[in-house]
């Protein structure tokens, strides 16, 4: 066992007996939403996974260990501590682990810990990607590199609409990451169901996605897959309004010199204010939808691998 890995008894037993497990990230708790909605949402997401027939495995760095399957008390701790918890990507792991520190896992670090623990499906809100203006800033999320090298399928509502979605898709293509649209031919844009950019393949059932995962593993092909699940229609935001809000939020960030890992939580908070809180409810609903689909894919995968 990896000395820096801690897996809950429930998750370890489920993996050992080929039962469905869905990994969940913790950055959404500490950096994605305010308290107490962050804790309420995290617990609701876990319940959604259970109700759909899978075991939830929320992941965080606690006391210098990659913890897969944390408790409700630990979720409460991360939620209350909020932005004071270190936002941990791949580059941060050696220091945080060696110092015995706490950290909230991004998409990239959640994928790393999930693979270590034998969990193959991960549900989140939206992935990071190529930021607008990256041709001069080189601001590209480590999530994309992780998708290229880590064998975990990520279920999301597409890439966050604050990003350059066209360049994000080009980057994923270069890295050989299949982008699957669940019931859609277009990449969802987080708050919006459509972006104008096509996906690589459309699949309409969890069984189709599980079959592609199984074939990929059996063929010895490395890297992850991205499943883009549109936000439920009842909670989707109008594209023109979101474009205006995003542009205004980016202008505010530029005026305040916000860059690096602070940019995403800053923009999400600004968008929440500009939409009178409607974007927060949309965020919560799309995460719940992705958790449900993640559980269905994990269940379908178990049918093929058991």
Catalytic residues: 25, 160
Helix (H) or strand (E) holding 179: strand 179-182
CB atoms within 10 A of CB 175: 15
86 phi, psi to nearest 5 deg: -65, 130
Residue in 104, 125, 128, 108 with CA at minimum distance from that of residue 29: 104
Cβ burial of 106 (10 Å; 0-12, 13-18, 19+) is buried
Distance CA 261, CA 178 (A): 26
Helix (H) or strand (E) holding 260: none
Residue in 134, 208, 143, 155 with CA at minimum distance from that of residue 45: 155
Distance CA 280, CA 203 (A): 28
Q: Residue 189 corresponds to which tokens in the numbers above?
A: 């844009």
27 phi, psi to nearest 5 deg: -65, -30
């Amino acid at each position: 066992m990896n000395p820096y890995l801690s897996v809950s008894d429930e998750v370890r037993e489920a993996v050992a007996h080929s039962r469905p497990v869905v990994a969940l990230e913790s950055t959404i708790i500490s950096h994605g939403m305010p308290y107490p909605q962050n804790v309420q949402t995290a617990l609701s997401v876990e319940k959604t996974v259970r109700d759909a027939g899978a075991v939830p495995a929320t992941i965080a760095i606690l006391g210098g260990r990659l913890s897969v399957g944390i408790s409700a008390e630990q979720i409460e701790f991360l939620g209350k501590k909020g932005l004071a918890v270190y936002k941990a990507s791949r580059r941060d792991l050696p220091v945080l682990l060696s110092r015995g520190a706490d950290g909230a896992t991004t998409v990239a670090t959640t994928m790393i810990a999930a693979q270590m623990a034998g969990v193959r499906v991960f549900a989140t809100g939206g992935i990071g990607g190529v930021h607008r203006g990256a041709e001069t800033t080189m601001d590209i999320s480590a999530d994309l590199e992780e998708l290229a090298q880590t064998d975990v399928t990520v279920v999301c509502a597409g890439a966050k609409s604050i990003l350059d979605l066209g360049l994000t898709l080009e980057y994923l293509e270069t890295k050989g990451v299949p982008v699957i649209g669940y019931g859609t031919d277009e990449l969802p844009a987080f708050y919006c169901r459509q972006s104008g950019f096509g996906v690589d393949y459309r699949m309409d059932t969890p069984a189709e996605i599980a079959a592609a995962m199984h074939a990929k593993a059996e063929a010895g092909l490395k890297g992850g897959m991205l499943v883009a699940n549109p936000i439920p229609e009842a909670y989707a935001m109008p594209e023109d309004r979101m474009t205006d809000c995003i542009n205004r939020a980016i202008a505010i960030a530029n005026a305040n010199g916000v860059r690096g890992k602070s940019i995403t939580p800053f923009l999400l908070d600004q968008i929440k204010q500009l939409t009178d809180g409607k974007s927060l409810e949309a965020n919560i609903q799309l995460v719940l939808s992705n958790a449900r689909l993640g559980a269905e894919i994990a269940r379908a995968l178990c049918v093929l691998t058991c």
